Structure 1
């Protein structure tokens, strides 16, 4: 049976070979940080279950340590309270609310942050503390501050970091407020996603500093952006290649909704294939156009529901080919989505690195191609 050290070394070698990070120092961090201290027990999804069911895996279970060192996300909490040790037997359902993100994504984020050894870094989203430990190993305890929203999660992360021999500055509080007492920072990295850039971040990172964050929304489409702070409350950046997603910050998550009832409305033909919303960038473009809408369905049968106004849009195959859409409510959701998708298609359907973002005191705008190209305001 392989030991933790052997599995860490093998994971470090595998991530280096796969190009998860460019700077070789991150290999030493992976080899040094025992992930099992931060994800001592975890949930794994049960393949094929609908809705998804989760199986708890605890220390000593068959395959437990090998699972810790697989390049996979380990869910450590469901529904904001339920942890693997709370499940006596069997499987459970729930929405993941805390996790140890797959190591390749964590290392890729740290690598893209491009922090120099003397930079001061603010991490938003301590989570299990594994990412924090990797950052502390590479940068040093005194250069890193990490903020966690959930006090129970934060307490567990603090204990794991101490056991692992790390002592970065830890804060329990709303990460969207950043660290009002600790700036200015040279870098900010978020291990949760947000609907828009919180203004405190833009004042706590110095001009010329960098913010690395995943933008998401109520349809849970994601896009990773790197921004340079150009002045207090101002920034400009680009979106990056790849497919990065994180759980949305709890204060930015959609409000509770009642059970969806599909109601009659105005019907017309749609000019775009609804299945384009199932693609990574197509779904994100739709979310930009209808930021208050939740997306359900798939393929030709998409459903958009604006949780703030009750507006609806639903698509279906047309009997003679093509597709129809039925819309109702004060916000014509499909009109906005269709227009955005057609502009993206006219530009050649670029991946997200074809988009940029500009943030000012007045608005936060995502644009296609260049700043004077088509754009959409984020829901600040």
Structure 2
């Protein structure tokens, strides 16, 4: 076997051992698709000591490049919306905007998509094209449509796919709008996060078809949801209890904070729910996010103590939480008491026994999206 064939087989073994690769068809896809062909332009690695967004390029002529490509890890391929590895000599301290998702997560989602022979699939978020290639190998490239918002990213994916012999339909555009010209699809899969599952994805999926998407918010707690589309234009399903994390679809990125409101004002009270609940427990943060889906969170220091800020830039609602001697207080301002909504929602969920997220039901209708949990049954 050639070196990369051995590396593909080793990657398949690792993903299978982790429990995410369960069927022979997807194993054959992992063993057949050369991931390195989709990373010929290099990738970025995190640079220790430069903060959370320090990155430096790793290029194909680097000794460790090929082995790193076949590790089960996500590899950043674009920084700040335009910067690719060949553009940098040294390091850059900006936020990643595109990546090649870790293979085990890609395969886990493809397994949960439950495709069948002959299915037509719409993929939202082409990225490097690696997951698109896996779909092409499994179904045939004439059954795969993929949408990518970034023209340069799409161009690189098209070249890599073509170089490997695959020619799926690749579309440059807003993936949240799907691709109506190719509808109806049997399956829709999104490899980017979405605040809400777009109605367009539902409308473009045949009744009985499946939409697999990561639903999230600006508190960055996200969950994988699998929905079945119904004949009346609605869809419903469950969260899968999968703490997956993808970059948000670019049209849904949070707005900049801009000029902050006067955080010294507002009304102050004790709160039974502290800001630590949003950092220490994923499920609690997800439930809180349902109550304040447009809120963003950051921490600042004033007077020598940390304040945990929640702010909805669009509405102007905000809350500032502080801990003193183990007790939390909250100050709130704006048109609505945002922490009251979070505290009530989390309190009600806990009163119902804090059911796991895999029990939550998601429903999408033309009027919007709802996510609820089952009420705890009570004896007579």
**What is the aligned partner in structure 1 of residue 219 from structure 2?**
219
Match of 2:317 in 1: 311
Deviations, residues 307-362 of structure 1 (Å, cap 9, x unaligned): 1022211111134x321111111121111111111122222323310211112222
Structure 1 runs of 4+ with >3 Å offset: 259-262
SS in 1 for 2:180: coil
Q: Does the 8 Å CA contact 2:352/2:376 hold for their aligned counterparts?
A: no
Q: 1:297 aligns with which of 296, 299, 302?
A: 299
When normalised by structure 2's length, the TM-score is 0.93
Contact 1:274 1:301 in 2 (8 A): no
Mapped partners of 1:282, 1:18: distance in 2: 26
Contact preservation (8 Å) 1:344, 1:350: yes
Partner in structure 1 of residue 335 of structure 2: 330
The question of whether the paired residues in 2 share the 8 Å contact of 1:205 and 1:229 is answered with yes
2:128 corresponding residue in structure 1: 128
Partner of 1:368: 373
Question: Residue 257 of structure 1 corresponds to which residue in structure 2?
Answer: 257
1:175–1:370 Cα change, 3 Å: farther
Q: Secondary structure at the match of 1:85?
A: helix
**Aligned-partner Cα distance in 1 for 2:32–2:307:** 48
Structure 1 unaligned residues grouped into runs of 5+:
373-380
Contact 2:199 2:365 in 1 (8 A): no
C-alpha contact 1:203 1:232 (8 A) present in aligned 2 = no
Residue 292 of structure 1 aligns to a residue whose secondary structure is coil
The residue that corresponds to 1:103 in the other structure is 103
Aligned partner of 2:358 in structure 1 is: 353
Name the residue aligned to 2:39.
39
Over 3 Å counting, the alpha-carbon distance change for 1:10 and 1:191 in structure 2 is: same
Q: How far apart in 1 are the matches of 2:79 and 2:262?
A: 29
1:1-380 residue pairs with structure 2 within 5 A?
3-40=3-40, 41-47=42-48, 49-88=50-89, 90-258=90-258, 260=260, 263-264=263-264, 265-278=266-279, 279-297=281-299, 301-319=307-325, 321-369=326-374
State the distance in 1 between where 2:138 and 2:222 align: 27
State the number of aligned residues.
369
Deviations 1:182-236 (A, max 9, x none): 1111100000111111111111101110000001122222111000001243001
Match of 1:375 in 2: none
Any idea what SS the aligned residue of 1:231 has?
coil
Q: Secondary structure at the match of 2:242?
A: coil
Are 1:122 and 1:189, in contact at CA under 8 Å, matched by a contact in 2? yes
Contact 2:239 2:360 in 1 (8 A): yes
1:262 shift after superposition? 5.7
- Partner-residue secondary structure (3-state), 2:182: coil
Which range moves more in the overlay, 271-280 or 242-251? 271-280
Please say if residues 241 and 351 of structure 1, whose CA atoms lie closer than 8 Å, have aligned partners that are also in contact: yes
Q: TM-score, normalised by structure 1?
A: 0.93
- 1: CA distance, partners of 2:375 / 2:249: 29
How far apart, in 1, do the equivalents of 2:284 and 2:365 lie? 26
- Partner-residue secondary structure (3-state), 2:29: helix
